[in-house]
Chains A and B, each alone.
Chain A
Amino acid sequence: MNKIFWEKTKIKEKINFTDKIIGFWIITENIGKNSKAGQFIHIKIDESNSLILRRPFSIADVKNNEIFFIFRIVGKGTSLLSRLNKTDEIDILGPLGKPIEIPEEKDILILGGGLGIAPLYLLSKTLLENKKNLFALFGAKNSKELILKENLEKLNFKELIFYTEDGSYGKKGKVTDGISPITKEKKFKVIYSAGPKEMLKKIKLIFNKKIKIYGFLEERMGCGVGLCSSCAVPKNDKTYLHLCENGPCLLLNEILL
């Protein structure tokens, strides 16, 4: 098991992508240094115990001991979290989850929708460091919600295409619209994806079963460290995986979505 740390971290920078999408750079002691692509942090948002459980967030980027994560305000927890500012403290457990394994294949397709772009940013950087050829499609509702686009443009993708549903940045449409054109030119054996469940379902339907499709999943989580078995994800054989331990990036071919 990878070493897990419990730390009171400090917010270094707050980035408001939109009114509802916020990113935090936080300063950690050991968590940042030990974090790898595919992992997450588990945040105790409310010390008063009105929200008992922690909330998991994918790691979008790491710089030495600093971690970047992005979230959308969807409920009470994320709403409280969004009110924090620079120098405020955040109680986190991490790094959690299984780091991605570097695939043997050279050419990899990356498909990210909405907030799913966040974990794929660190993942892309990691795969590029491992000399992989990345072909990427990223999409969101509109230009503002297309997070990290400037950062992604600086990475050395073989191909990088953006989609927005309103056409305000890149091509008009969804990431899944771009799959057919890109796979006509090139055949992929490995895909990494993250985004809404509907998008992952569609991706799974489009590709041949022999192609390895990895996807970042979400599930209600308890401990986040493999003790409670709350975050069950059904496999094709009707048994369960635990997202916090086996994921959050799982081989979708094995999963019932």
Chain B
Amino acid sequence: MNLNQKIKGINFKNPVLLASGTYGFGLKFKEVINLTGGIITKTITFKPMIGNPPPRIYEFEGGIINSIGLENPGVKYFKNKILPNLKNLNTNLIVSIGGNSVKEIIDLIKTLEDEIISAYEINLSCPNVKEGGINLGQNPLIVEKILKEAKKITKKPIIAKIPSVFCNPIEIAKITENNGADFITITNTIPGLVINIEREKPFLGGISGGISGPFLKYYSLYLVAKIRKIIKIPVIGCGGIRDYKDVLEYLFCGAMLVEIGTLNLVNPFIVAKIIKDLKEWGKERRIKNIKKIIGKIEIEI
């Protein structure tokens, strides 16, 4: 099965992308990254962020809750020290960007603009920072402003990673489309809380965290199926993928691309197997092109 797709001017050798925050900045496991359709870096903010105090991760049956707090070295360091080491990547480099304000996000894009980046993914939905993050994405007016301003200053495609709770994700999706987003990622982690009953306080150092992992697939898939009927821009499905079968579920529901996240923390090599299995599956069924299966199932919800 030919997995290659050219979408919005970007060539994706297959539909599997590495989700932001689960594969660092692309400096490690380059041989694995090169097998994927692209890597979305850990979110960069304008200024460096030290992240949240530990513990930063909690596990439950069905997923994990993380509270990293957007730890990153800031855009200047990223541009000067990290990007030069990514020039030899043989796949798409998508930079995840975030911030506390519209201005910060715009300044960030301005700083990066000349570089060898395939697209930006704007993180409108990180639940792990006190200001900005999910709060930006939940406010339709701010989403509108970010996209309008961003489109004015960049020719690169913009992916909007939208929040899916504490807002109307359908409304937010429409706004991102109407204001020039080229892709939409559904969905980020959703907020969660764990209490340490012995210490009578929240378990995570950052108090609340973002829930991800296998359980999230069912909600995310529902949203993908619903939203892709309403908007025309390509949808990237993200949430709880464990194997090629989960990838197929997203593709059948209309996602053109998928992101793998939590699974990378379990095994940084597993994405290679998923891509291989996906090819095999198509070959066995004599499906020539991935386009034949995208959105194949009509779902009325």
Contact = CB atoms under 8 A, between A and B. Distances in A.
Interface of A: 1, 4, 6, 44, 49-54, 93, 219-223, 225-234, 238-240
A221 B68 CA distance: 12
B266 A234 contact: no
B23 A230 contact: no
Q: Which of A227, A233, A240 has the most CB of B within 10 A?
A: A227
Contacts of B50: 238-240
Given A52-B266, A228-B265, 11 more contacts: A6-B267, A44-B266, A93-B267, A219-B54, A220-B54, A222-B66, A225-B28, A227-B28, A232-B205, A234-B54, A240-B50
A226 to B, nearest CB: 6
Interface residues of B, number: 35
Interface in B23-37: 23-24, 28-29
A50 B64 CA distance: 11
B51 A53 contact: no
A227 B267 CA distance: 11
B58 interface: yes
Nearest to A51: B59
13 contacts: A49-B214, A52-B63, A52-B266, A220-B56, A222-B57, A223-B268, A225-B29, A227-B29, A227-B264, A229-B68, A229-B71, A231-B56, A232-B205
Given A227-B24, A229-B71, A220 B266 contact: no
B56 A230 contact: yes
A226 B64 contact: no
Given A53-B64, A240-B71, A225 B268 contact: yes
B59 A53 contact: yes
A219 B55 CA distance: 7
Nearest to A50: B61
In terms of DSSP, what is the predominant structure of the interface of chain B? Answer: loop
A37 B34 CA distance: 32
Nearest to A234: B53
Nearest to A238: B50
Contact of A232 (B23, B53, B266): B53
The 4 closest A-B pairs by CB, nearest first: A230-B57, A223-B265, A227-B24, A222-B265
A14 B274 CA distance: 34
Contacts of B205: 232
Contacts of A223: 22, 264-266, 268
B57 A220 contact: yes
Contacts of B214: 49, 52
A52 B56 contact: no
Contacts of B52: 232
Contacts of B76: none
Contacts of B57: 53, 220-222, 228, 230-231
Contacts of A52: 59, 62-64, 213-214, 262, 266
Contact of A230 (B53, B62, B68, B268): B68
A226 B28 contact: yes
B66 A227 contact: no
Interface string B185-215: 0000000000000000000010000000110
A54 B267 CA distance: 9
Nearest to B269: A6
A213 B265 CA distance: 31
